[in-house]
Amino acid sequence: MKPRKSEDPLPGRAAALLIVLCVSGMRAETARYSVPEEAERGSFVANIAKDLGLTGEELLARQARVVPEGEKQYLQLNKHTGDLVVREQMDREELCGQSEPCL
């Protein structure tokens, strides 16, 4: 049996790896927080800048944003301070239905 030849030559793979390594410094950070469903609008959840080890200025320069999984934006980020607050009160039944656990 003949060994299968790769479609990409080795230099191409090395260049791709180099690009991945260079871009890896600009990676996205993911953070998860627990928020009680009874939390009122404007309730403090966390300081994203502090949790990521950044200043508010760095957070603003990196164009940080909250990306919702559904239609509604339940959380709001103050890009100047890094504070994450409740934008809209959450309803467990609306979000998860009868599924357990609700994440």
The pLDDT tens digits of the residues spanning 2-29 come to 554 545 444 444 444 444 444 444 556 6
CA dihedral sign of residues 34, 91, 49, 25: positive
Question: Sorting pLDDT into bands at 50, 70 and 90, what band is 32?
Answer: confident
- Amino acid 100: pLDDT: 77
Judge whether 83 and 47 are in contact, CB under 8 Å. yes
Give the whole-number percent of the chain exceeding pLDDT 70: 70
pTM, full prediction:
0.63
Percentage of the chain with pLDDT > 90?
17
Options 3.30.2130.30, 2.60.40.60, 1.10.760.10, 1.20.1090.10; CATH for 38-96 is 2.60.40.60
Domain segments of the chain: what residues? Answer: 38-96
